[in-house]
Amino acid sequence: MAAQKGQQHGDPGKPEESQGRPWVRSLGMIGLVLLVLAALIETITAGTQRPIVGGLALLAIAAFVVAGVGRLTEPESVRAARAQAADGASDPDGRSGPWQEDDAPWREDADGPWQEEGGDGGEGGWNEGEGPWSERGEPSAPAERAGGWQGAPPGARAGARTQTQAATRVPGQRRERGRKAPQVPERTFPRLSELSEVVLGPTPTHYAHRGQAPYVRRPAADGRLAALLNADSQPFPFVVVVGPSKAGKSRTVVEAVRSVLGGRDPGVFVPGSGEELAEVLREEEALPRGRQPWVIWLDDVTAADLVHLSADTLDRAARHAMIVASMTDERWDQVLDSHGDVAATAKAALRRATKVPLDFELTVRERAEAEQLYPQLQINASIGEALIGGDQLVAKFRAGRDREPAGYTIVQAAVDARRAGLNRPLTESELRGLYPLYLRRVRIDLDPTTALFEEGMAWATEPVASEVSLLSQVGGGAGSAGGAGGAGVAHGALGSSLGSTTGPGTRAKPTENPDGALEVLDYVVAIEEGRHGQEARPVFDAMWQELIAAVPPDDAFDIGIGASLRGNQSAAELAFRKVLDLDHAGEAPRAANNLGLLLRERGDVAGARAAFQKAIDSGHPDVMPRAANNLGALLRQQGDVSGARGAYQKAIDSGHTDVVPRAANDLGSLLRGQGDVAGARTAYQRAVDSGHTDVVPSAALNLGMLLKDQGDVAGAETAYERAMGSGDPEVVPVAALNLGSLLREQGDMAGARTAYQRAVDSGHAEVVPVAALNLGSLLREQGDMAGARTAYQRAVDSDHPGVMPVAALNLGMLLKDQGDPEGAEAAYQRAVDSGDVDVVPMAALYRGSLLKDQGDLVGAETAFQRAVDSGHPDVAPMAANNLGVLLTEEADVGGARAAYELAVRSEHADVAPMAANNLGVLLTEEAEVDDARAAYQVAVDSGHADVAPMAALNLGLLLDAQGDVGGARSAYELAVDSGHADVVSVAAVNLGTLLRDQGDVAGARAAFHLAIDSGFVDIAPVSAGHLRVLLAGQGGSVNARPAARIGADRVRETAALGARAGESGADVEGGDDLGTLEAMEEGLGEDEGPNGRRT
């Protein structure tokens, strides 16, 4: 919907409307006359002519019935007009209506309670996180502008309130004292049947001019639109048909609306801009109250339109009307793909819309129908392209560079002005100022003379065979291009020049300047943007400054938006500063706020703060609250908690329906960070209770996290469910993920599984990997290995840098347990290759253990060494111990000793004792008794529940072999006293043997019995039964070496398993996912952004 679109007109005070249908009153009078005549005949003839009297009576009754039906079926607009006329007739001062010119109730010199300061503060846009740019209002007074123009700029929009101006109070006027405020008249919009296709947007061609332009059906889009437009209850839909220029978007929308809604013939509002739509919707009490929904028609909608469609504006619309719009895919992508604050409001609006895509190329079936309907037409791809003669226009434009350089550069200048964000036709004066810049780039030998310009204009406005031209004159005045006028203008701009009347359903001219205005064909703009297989041309840098200098403040504001969307921050700043420098009453506060957002993005904190403060100081009822909230966010980022809190509170105190919920949510996050839990809870709850469509989801999510931290499980669950019920595509997945973690902690595995699955099914790029990882861990705990494998694999396939390595590690452990070593090794390798500093060491360790089990000792050694080299405080010691075991088996004593000693030096509570014991075994075998004894003693002194008893056993064996009976007995007794299930029996046998050899038969007997009672079965080559025989006979001996070997082997096995001991419970999950979610909360909880514009 371009801003140059004109206005509809509805005048509820016209006498002929208040009179209704003339024949209704005539029939009523005829019926009355017939009744009187019948009564007279009955009286005069004394009843002798009853048949005649009866006939007259029947005719009278028939007249009354027909008149009554006519009255009942009158349009709503007629009845509303009659009601207004009746109200005017009952005025005590005898006025015929509330809007008479003489003695009108609204007077500028009156004072009273109805005065509005500086215009009627609006609602539109939103603050941080939603969009920075304001709605644009019309200048309240003519402003002098660069280039010597004064007054309303050539080519500027017509007054935004033309349509219903007579029926509404003018902002800034006061009610006369002592007078009762009149009831707000109901707006009336023209019916769908009263509007031509020209008004609704499709580009006219010679087929349309002859009334021979049949519609080529687009089944996919037609069916989708029909389903959406059949809505019969609130909230009514917001539908956008999106496709390339000249794909046939406008015509498809027209046909769908007429097909579905034609029988009901709803009222249709065709605003000239998004600003006008927001302004009309603010006066909700004046909206049509009859048959609903009516239709809001937004053809060729732009980012400058969308910045006005804040959440509260769209909520109002959804209560009364369905919004039907068209938009180029280029603009759609540009808004949704942009990253600056400029896109936030527009992004939010598009996220609420239902997109109906329309392909540029026709299907085989569609092309067959098109060729049948248009046999003379050469259709290569799009019907719209063929109808306007797209190939001819492109060929003409490209050839113009050499054949008509002046015309070619004039068109280029017009194209770049549109691409820069100027959403209205250009005037000849503006084009005269711009085209020399382009001419010098093409032909430096040509001077931009007046004659050359006129020659170029004639070429650019000359239509091709389709009666469409590259450049078309609209708002015709002197210099209009005759028959070419309007034939080639783009959607929306065109209707202004085609309708010569100003009745309902027609559009006002975009300019009354006799200089005329010129509109470039949107298809040519798309060509220069690189669409339809053409090479893109960048916007000429020198054009920005020239264009900004030439246009008035409201257009400079729009160009600021366009520049921001294109990433040209310097041009955006220049545009906004121009508005500020001119101190335009309606635009300056909004420009200040947007400049603050722009400077904040660039890191200019001081400049941003000053700009926000200037917007706040303006006292503008719409801008001040938004700027205060934005200032609060800036100060919070700078650590100025007190200043931020004050700014947020100022925004809240404004009572602005769109800003208060956002500021409350932001204040809640600030207070939560300061530990003011009660204050944060109150602020979040206020935001939730506001019912604001955009804020409630994030506020409920934030409230849920706060309550969870406070242990209020029920409250947190309720808040998360509220957030999930919002349907917000950004918040619902996060809330589902958090709810899943909450329910899992509470033992509600079924509920947690459902919540995690919903998060996974959301498709959210950031949430799905975390939810899949957590779901996999939950399913594994429940024994659903197939489900766990699928979930882990999805997390791995996401390639999410924070999740994929963990998921690959967990998947590897699962596959190993399931007997799939190849799959496990591949998963471990992927985790290793991720480079994640926390995951790589663990994955390398597990991979090394797997390769060792598979007999790949070289690969295992490499993997263990990588884990050791990582220096990870937990994993490196484990890997060093396992590497020592591996090198021992390979007879690399030096390497094994070094690995064990490295693990011992780590002083890791679990690994160091294990490595010390293994080192003792190694040194014992190497006959390094003193070092072995020291190593065992380290393990014993550790007190480790599993390792110390084994080390004591091994130390006893060593000392026993060295003849140190006392030391050996103490070590054995220490092992026995540990009560360790695996050690006691062996230690008791060895102790019994030692005591027997020392002649302590009673002690030996007690030790052997202890071994038997502890579950001792056999120790080769002596059986338990044989031990009893030997003890009874006081002869023979028990070879202790097998016990030593068993002890050593067990320690070694434990060492190897110890590195893997965590496997069964080693799944790394999101836990309650607070790390990820806190980061998300910052994005979701802080809404910053724009100010909708309006005067």
What would the pLDDT profile of 1019-1029 be if each residue is shown by its tens digit?
Answer: 544 444 333 33
Query: Does the structure show a pLDDT above 60 at 599?
Result: yes
Mean pLDDT, residues 717-726 taken together:
95
Distances (CA, A) of 160 to 43, 315, 346, 506: 65, 22, 21, 14
Structure confidence at residue 1 as a pLDDT band (50, 70, 90): low
CA 589 – CA 612 distance, rounded (Å): 9
What would the pLDDT profile of 402-458 be if each residue is shown by its tens digit?
Answer: 999 999 999 999 999 999 989 889 988 889 889 898 888 888 888 889 999 999 999
Higher pLDDT: 349 or 1026? It is 349
DSSP states of 360-410: SSPPHHHHHHHHHH-TT---SS-HHHHHHTHHHHHHHHHHHHHH-HHHHHH
Query: Does the structure show a pLDDT above 70 at 608?
Result: yes
Quick one: 455 and 311 in the same domain?
no
Burial (CB < 10 A; 0-12, 13-18, 19+), residue 787, is middle
Rounded to the nearest 5 degrees, what angle is found at the Cα of 711, between the Cα atoms of 709 and 714?
110
What CATH number does residue 1009 fall under?
1.25.40.10
**Domain total of the chain:** 3
Structure confidence at residue 515 as a pLDDT band (50, 70, 90): low
Quick one: 475 and 522 in the same domain?
yes
* pLDDT at position 1018: 56
Q: Are 321 and 269 in contact (CB under 8 A)?
A: yes
* pLDDT at position 15: 43
Structure confidence at residue 1075 as a pLDDT band (50, 70, 90): very low
Q: Are 952 and 978 in contact (CB under 8 A)?
A: yes
Higher pLDDT: 486 or 644? It is 644
* pLDDT at position 1080: 29
Give which of 435, 441, 399 is closest to 417, Cα–Cα. 435
Report the chain's mean pLDDT, rounded to a whole number.
77
Give which of 271, 228, 220, 207 is closest to 8, Cα–Cα. 271
Mean pLDDT, residues 723-749 taken together:
95
Tokens found for residue 960: 């026993």
Tokens found for residue 753: 């599984």
Structure confidence at residue 1032 as a pLDDT band (50, 70, 90): very low
Quick one: 206 and 285 in the same domain?
yes
Quick one: 361 and 478 in the same domain?
no
Q: Are 389 and 378 in contact (CB under 8 A)?
A: no
Mean pLDDT, residues 522-547 taken together:
85
Tokens found for residue 254: 């027209």
Side-chain half-sphere of 854: how many Cα atoms within 13 Å? Answer: 18
In a domain, 452, yes or no: yes
Query: Does the structure show a pLDDT above 60 at 497?
Result: no
Give which of 537, 550, 534, 498 is closest to 519, Cα–Cα. 498
Mean pLDDT, residues 558-570 taken together:
89
User: Model-level pTM greater than 0.75?
Assistant: no
Query: Does the structure show a pLDDT above 50 at 1038?
Result: no
Q: Which residue has 């034939």 as its token pair?
A: 487
Least confident piece of the model among 52-61, 625-634, 706-715? 52-61
Query: Does the structure show a pLDDT above 80 at 76?
Result: no
Structure confidence at residue 1030 as a pLDDT band (50, 70, 90): very low
What would the pLDDT profile of 118-131 be if each residue is shown by its tens digit?
Answer: 333 333 333 333 33
Handedness of CA 58, 62, 64, 68 (dihedral sign): positive
Tokens found for residue 138: 């019309």
What would the pLDDT profile of 82-120 be if each residue is shown by its tens digit?
Answer: 555 554 444 444 333 333 333 333 233 333 332 333 333
Quick one: 357 and 426 in the same domain?
no
Least confident piece of the model among 552-556, 752-756, 882-886, 1065-1069? 1065-1069
In a domain, 232, yes or no: yes
Higher pLDDT: 63 or 624? It is 624
In a domain, 359, yes or no: yes
Mean pLDDT, residues 704-718 taken together:
96
Q: What is the four-CA torsion angle of 102, 104, 109, 115, rounded to 10 degrees? A: -170
**Length of the chain in residues, anyone?**
1095
How much of the chain, in percent, has pLDDT values that exceed 70?
75
Higher pLDDT: 202 or 638? It is 638
Quick one: 231 and 306 in the same domain?
yes
Least confident piece of the model among 206-210, 214-218, 316-320, 520-524? 206-210
What would the pLDDT profile of 583-595 be if each residue is shown by its tens digit?
Answer: 767 788 889 998 9
Structure confidence at residue 338 as a pLDDT band (50, 70, 90): confident
In a domain, 653, yes or no: no
- List alpha helices for 604-727, DSSP H: 605-617, 623-637, 641-653, 659-673, 677-689, 696-709, 713-725
Quick one: 365 and 405 in the same domain?
no
Side-chain half-sphere of 1061: how many Cα atoms within 13 Å? Answer: 15
How much of the chain, in percent, has pLDDT values that exceed 90?
45
Query: Does the structure show a pLDDT above 80 at 336?
Result: yes
Quick one: 363 and 414 in the same domain?
no
Quick one: 202 and 321 in the same domain?
yes
CA 916 – CA 561 distance, rounded (Å): 69
Quick one: 1039 and 970 in the same domain?
yes
Distances (CA, A) of 761 to 599, 724, 798: 39, 13, 13
In a domain, 434, yes or no: yes
Quick one: 360 and 286 in the same domain?
yes
CA 460 – CA 471 distance, rounded (Å): 5
What would the pLDDT profile of 888-935 be if each residue is shown by its tens digit?
Answer: 999 999 999 999 999 999 999 999 999 999 999 999 999 999 999 999
What would the pLDDT profile of 449-485 be if each residue is shown by its tens digit?
Answer: 999 999 999 999 999 877 889 998 876 433 333 333 3
Query: Does the structure show a pLDDT above 80 at 616?
Result: yes
Mean pLDDT, residues 557-576 taken together:
90
Mean pLDDT, residues 172-182 taken together:
37
* pLDDT at position 650: 96
Q: How many CB atoms lie within 10 A of CB 615?
A: 30
Distances (CA, A) of 178 to 106, 110, 116: 12, 10, 18
Higher pLDDT: 151 or 699? It is 699
Structure confidence at residue 382 as a pLDDT band (50, 70, 90): confident
In a domain, 447, yes or no: yes
Quick one: 280 and 418 in the same domain?
no
CA 179 – CA 112 distance, rounded (Å): 10
What CATH number does residue 315 fall under?
3.40.50.300
In a domain, 730, yes or no: no
Which residues form the domain of 271? 192-373
CA 394 – CA 222 distance, rounded (Å): 29
In a domain, 737, yes or no: no
* pLDDT at position 451: 92
CA 251 – CA 201 distance, rounded (Å): 8
